[in-house]
Structure 1
Amino acid sequence: MAMHAIANSPPPSGSSSEATNEILAELIASLFLSRPSLNSSSSIAIDRVERSVPYPSRARSGFDISQLPAEIICEIFERFMEDDSVHPVFDDTPRPLVSYTCRSDPTKLGQICSRWRAVAVNLPKLWSNILIYNPKPSQVYLTNVWLERSGKNPLNLEVDYNSGKRQYDVRSEAQILRSFIRHLTRWKKFRFNVSVKVLGLFYALTDSPHKPLILESVDLDFHDLLPHRRAEEGVDGILKYFHSCPTLRQVVWHTRELDRFPQHAPSQLTHVHARFSVSIDDIMTFLPQIPLIQELQIESLRRPSKDTAGTVSLPLLLQHLRLLRILSHEVRGTSFIARLTCPSLESLEINHSNDFPESNQDLQEIPRFLHRSGCRLQKLDLRDAGRNITGAELEKCLSDSPLQSLTYLHIWISHISDQMVGLLSRKSPTGLHQFAPFLETLDLPSCETSDGLLANMVSSRWYEALDDNLSTPVGHLRKAVIFPGKYFGPIDEAFFSTKVLY
């Protein structure tokens, strides 16, 4: 009803109408020109081309853009609020933000004309994602404006600060959090990196009759908690309160709040990010309690508190796990995957470091794990700072692994050798690459190879011909990030210096 009234309100007249038409023309052009997705490996290249195309003026062609139906204007506004930064941008602005990757300001939409303002104010979706960075007094009033305009929409809320400066207005932070809490029943996702000085606001929720009825994601971190150890009991009560929400699916647990998996964690969790140090045995004890787990991220593996050498158990079946990310230090990440079977796994990251320069990983656990799981892995990210991983060992690990569905590969070891590049270059008699034939993104940060091998390998996999030989079969590769260990030879230098491979 409200949207129908807006659509039929009188359009602006005179010179302001012409100015509005020009601005509308640009937005409509950007809407119907295919806007690149941030997930696309070729997004940067496409974005450069698109920005160089002049937007056609629909006003000059005789079409009065101000007469657009409200539904079309709403769609334009929603596209305007989509993510537009490939990398997060940390702006210390006096206003609320939509997200770290969206620099659009919805208040500007209401500055064009009265009709646009009416549509924007009555479109709750524009105001339902609120990021407060470095809380300050100027954000308090604007936060309340955004919350009022968000109507009854679910809210995605975030409060963060500049960890380098560690200076922001805690009083403003408390005022903003009080405003958020007044809309508690609409919280869908929140990430709060806040001071322990506002802990009382959260603890009061445990006795509140109001509940976050649609809460799906919780990420709560009191960044200055460590000097206040007596607050731990209060933090545990707050986490228990949020864990009791029947709709909760995603959690991030921080080392300042936890040093073990909480006993009150809900069984329906699908996404768990543990940012505290935990042993493999503790993880294996916890995982059967969350059978629906889809994404598991472990920040730090620690040694068990007691000797469990000789303990043998069947691999645990995680039927729904799609993403597994392990950061390990001394304790081998491959020791963890040796105890799992994951038939639905799509993404695997093992990032291992060690106090000693030698790696203690058993890379052959990776092909054993993948064969046992029978999954169609699409993303593999393997990083190891150890210097004793040979090219032959890495080549055997990858060639023994079933990676025919792989689309993303990042390998970071002390150096990538000829053997690894040879694996990536080999083709079958049919002309398809034998290893990961559908690879779209390749990241090799440290290469020490014979001159010309890298250029030939990338050329053979690129999605379009990079030379005049148009008869050469093209592959699927759309992004290649290649760095030499020391320097490129003349052939590779000439190849990579003249091409932007993304």
Structure 2
Amino acid sequence: MSSHIDRIPLELLEKVFKFYASDGLTEPSLGSTIRPSSLTSTLSFSASPFILGAVCSLWRETSLAMPCLWSSLAVYRPRYAQIGTIRLWLERSKEVPLSLYLYEPFIPDPANEEARESILFLFLRHAHRWKHFYAKLSGDHPAESLCTLPINDLIMLESVELDFREHVGDYGSPWLSFYKISSLRRVTWDSSSAIRGAHNFAPWSTLTHVKLPLVPNLTIDSLLKNILYAVNLVDLEVAMSMPLEPLPPPPARLKCVSEAALESLRAQLPPGWWERTISDAVALGRAMQREENLRTALFAPIDLPNLQSLKIHAHGRDAAPLLDRLKLPELKSLHILHYTTYPVAPSTRYIIALLERSGLYKLDTLSIYDPDMREDEVVKLLTSRRLQALRKLELLVSSVGDNTVQLLFVRRGMQYRLPYLTHLVLPDCVTSEGMLLKMVVSRQPLLNTVKFCVTADTPMSDVAKLRKLASRTGFCLSTV
């Protein structure tokens, strides 16, 4: 008698295989320093199509007939012993686009530097199929083999993430090669390359997804000089040390002039590209005109017409100095993490100002991390009519009490706040007994996920009743 698993339709079995191998990329866990060398589908998961093929002949035939299962390969701690398996893995991927990950731990192993170079060379033989390339490398000269990329072969590459640790180079020279690839859309810089200015030479006008780490002495103006060209940017994550005082608002009479200057800049290619084909005198004149337009354009908020997701790691004080300089009419997701050290009281006014300036009523996700933020600032934010389309709200602040919870309470027959909310994360809940429970119950069944911290001041009867509610319904409760 055949087992139930043998009677699974082939189409369903293929979907199960794809789900098994499709865990998203995240950094290896803290235990990665003792993690052994491995070949898997992603760095964060132990999935391997070889495991599927070892179950039975049917599964082996199915896995070999699915090149997409072999299209993602993560090499952790490169070793010579892996090369034969890597070659076979790449052969089985046929001609499908490749996602390749190469990771070396922080402490390099000189004995395996040659193995790393051999694996990179093997990857380069399939350069015409690269779609995503991730490399986190150690050693004295980890990027040398990437400085001679076959640019003309890299016709499918969309995404690049590089981390060379303490590597010293001229503006992260491998990046200059990657920038020449016309299909490049997503970049994640490492700190070493960003400190040396690699982001200043990027093709910002064609990028859609950007992640920029914390760069010492990076000013808001210098960042804006880059992203003002980013008319196609959809997702931006940036870490910055914020100045204590934001720039004062520009005079009203400069608004139209600034917008015209911005349009003029965007009509041209970014600095340093087009001057090479014209005479020195004309180039100098155009460069002077561009500098004048640049100074004028930075007076007004920079409009990023396609940006949908923004994540800011704000060091020193809140993100007001940066967000005050932006206009984001298509923003759907806003994540702000405050690592405050300056004596500036955390505020939410600049978030409301951004939404108003952008004419925005459709923000879907809002996440704020700020251990120093007071509850009255949270209340001011949640009462804004600009947030009424929110589905996901994460408040990682000092604590919330009755004022916040009561604001979210739904009363029948009355208009209430955040009517589409499905996902809610709260910090320490210092509330009256029954308040938290009533709020959650009043929002059922639309509110299907709630997470909050339990402290000595949290009513335990509310926690017990919420757990009972979660056990008998589809409601998801998570407490810390």
TM-score scaled to structure 2, two decimals?
0.78
**1:318 corresponds to 2:304:** yes
Query: 2: distance between equivalents of 1:381 and 1:491?
Result: 28
Amino acid at match of 2:349: Q
My pick for the range that moved more, 79-88 or 369-378, is 79-88
My pick for the range that moved more, 396-405 or 102-111, is 102-111
Alpha carbons of structure 1 residues 84 and 209: separation in structure 2 relative to 1, 3 Å: closer
Matched residue, 2:465: 495
Shift of 1:22: 4.2
Matched residue, 2:279: none
Alpha carbons of structure 1 residues 98 and 428: separation in structure 2 relative to 1, 3 Å: same
Alpha carbons of structure 1 residues 162 and 195: separation in structure 2 relative to 1, 3 Å: closer
Residue 202 of structure 2, aligned match among 242, 261, 265: 265
SS state at 2:145 partner: helix
Contact 1:252 1:272 in 2 (8 A): yes
Number of residue pairs aligned between Structure 1 and Structure 2: 414
The 5-angstrom pairing of residues 22-101 of structure 1 reads 22-25=4-7, 28=8, 74-83=14-23, 92=35, 94-100=37-43
Contact 1:359 1:384 in 2 (8 A): no
Amino acid at match of 1:203: C
SS state at 2:42 partner: coil
Matched residue, 2:137: 194
Structure 1 stretches of 5 or more lacking a match?
1-17, 29-67, 464-475
Matched residue, 1:63: none
Amino acid at match of 1:349: H
Matched residue, 1:408: 392
Alignment RMSD, CA only?
A: 2.9
The 5-angstrom pairing of residues 42-191 of structure 1 reads 74-83=14-23, 92=35, 94-100=37-43, 102-114=45-57, 116-163=59-106, 169-191=112-134
Amino acid at match of 1:409: L
Contact 1:120 1:126 in 2 (8 A): yes
Matched residue, 1:459: 441
Query: 2: distance between equivalents of 1:385 and 1:72?
Result: 47
Query: 1: distance between equivalents of 2:109 and 2:422?
Result: 42
Alpha carbons of structure 1 residues 460 and 105: separation in structure 2 relative to 1, 3 Å: same
Alpha carbons of structure 1 residues 241 and 384: separation in structure 2 relative to 1, 3 Å: same
Structure 2 stretches of 5 or more lacking a match?
251-298, 471-475
The 5-angstrom pairing of residues 269-280 of structure 1 reads 269-277=207-215, 278-280=218-220
Query: 2: distance between equivalents of 1:321 and 1:283?
Result: 16
Matched residue, 2:181: 245
Contact 1:295 1:321 in 2 (8 A): yes
**1:299 corresponds to 2:239:** yes
SS state at 2:337 partner: strand
**1:287 corresponds to 2:227:** yes
Query: 1: distance between equivalents of 2:12 and 2:458?
Result: 52
Matched residue, 2:473: none
Residue 450 of structure 2, aligned match among 474, 477, 480: 480
SS state at 1:276 partner: coil
Shift of 1:218: 0.8
Query: 2: distance between equivalents of 1:341 and 1:254?
Result: 27
TM-score scaled to structure 1, two decimals?
0.75
SS state at 1:273 partner: strand
Query: 1: distance between equivalents of 2:44 and 2:136?
Result: 18
Query: 2: distance between equivalents of 1:404 and 1:258?
Result: 38
Query: 1: distance between equivalents of 2:248 and 2:166?
Result: 41
Query: 1: distance between equivalents of 2:444 and 2:46?
Result: 33
Matched residue, 2:292: none
Alpha carbons of structure 1 residues 173 and 373: separation in structure 2 relative to 1, 3 Å: same
Alpha carbons of structure 1 residues 201 and 445: separation in structure 2 relative to 1, 3 Å: same
Identity %: 27
